[in-house]
Structure 1
Amino acid sequence: MFESSKKVVVKLDKKAALAKAEHYCAYQERSQQEVRDKLYEWGLWSNDVEETISELIQTNFLNEERFAMAYVSGKFNIKGWGKIKIKQGLKLKKVPDKMIVNVLKTINYDDYLRTILTCAEKKLKTISEKEAYKRKYKLVNYLLTRGFENDLILEVLKNNNLT
């Protein structure tokens, strides 16, 4: 007949949740907020959630700074995101502002400019616009959506005669 499309929520006790959370954190770096959300999803009460998070931090399964570094590295090196977009992503994961500022400093400035140039050159090939100012507008707009700063975009385009 009709199948229920609702998820079955499994309530875990604190010990089982800790073991499952350890596995969850070992699989890939997680922010404290991701783990907190997952623990609530597993049916833990708020005091148990906070105790479990403290235990994960003490056993080094959970490390916010390590997560932030891995996030920045992946989004910049693999996805080619700019600092603005990376910062927004970290804020969504509720990483502290001070930590965000520190991990963004780890991005090499020359590599950053090179990434802007690479993205610009790749996008230029796909823009079929004939008028120069419209082409530039589309290119700058694209680079802004990738999270790059407007002044750096214009500097890279000007220095590489891409305008």
Structure 2
Amino acid sequence: MPFKPSYILPEAIKKLERYCAYRERCHKEAVSKLKEMGMIPEAIDQIMAHLVLEGYLNEERFAKSFARGKFTIKKWGRNRITNELKQRNISKYNIQTALREIDEEDYQRTLDTLARKRVNQLTGKSLPEKRRKLADYLFYRGWENHLVYDKIEALLKEQHL
């Protein structure tokens, strides 16, 4: 059985402060890290309270950062971002606040760019198969149904898709 180090409260606090300072974390990630370190529930509560009071943990800040990053870097749509934040137990209010961080013009431009790029990759396929594959691709990335179908119709008129 491998040796697992044990931590006293001040050591655990310092370790979690560094963990949370490295990048934005949600409460679920911090609690998970503390459990992984073998901390007891009373100590977890105490450390979590310290991290929130000192500003190391902030769910709203985390949600905003997460939404901006996933949209900008991974080109995720609002549905996927919402689902991922829900899995991290982020409140509905914080999710809505985070989604407001995404500029509507950028959102539409990104959808257009993704759709056009994907259409160009779908060569040698029948028309219905192209439409289905494009829709599946955009749905997987979390784009809303009405936006996807509108974009497919626009590309259909433009490129005879």
Q: 1:70 aligns with which of 33, 57, 65?
A: 65
Q: 2:9 aligns with which of 2, 10, 14?
A: 14
1:117 partner letter: D
- Alignment partner of 1:103 is 2:103: no
CA–CA distance in 2 between the matches of 1:112 and 1:93? 23
Task: State the TM-score, normalized to the length of structure 2.
Answer: 0.91
Deviation at 1:159, TM superposition (A): 3.1
Deviation at 1:9, TM superposition (A): 2.6
TM-aligned CA distance change 1:26 to 1:54, over 3 Å: same
2:64 partner letter: M
CA–CA distance in 2 between the matches of 1:54 and 1:34? 14
Identity among equivalent positions (%) equals 33
- Asked whether the equivalents of residues 9 and 41 of structure 1 are also in contact (C-alpha less than 8 Å), the reply is no
2:68 partner letter: S
Name the counterpart of 1:39: 34
CA–CA distance in 2 between the matches of 1:110 and 1:156? 15
Task: State the TM-score, normalized to the length of structure 1.
Answer: 0.90
- Alignment partner of 1:91 is 2:86: yes
2:13 partner letter: L
- Alignment partner of 1:120 is 2:115: yes
Name the counterpart of 2:130: 135
Deviation at 1:103, TM superposition (A): 1.2
2:141 partner letter: R
Number of paired residues? 158
CA–CA distance in 2 between the matches of 1:8 and 1:155? 57
Name the counterpart of 1:82: 77
**Gap regions ≥5 residues in structure 2:** none
Deviation at 1:7, TM superposition (A): 5.5
C-alpha RMSD over aligned residues: 1.5
Dislocated runs of 4+, deviation >3 Å: none
SS in 2 for 1:10: coil
**Gap regions ≥5 residues in structure 1:** 1-5
CA–CA distance in 2 between the matches of 1:43 and 1:130? 54
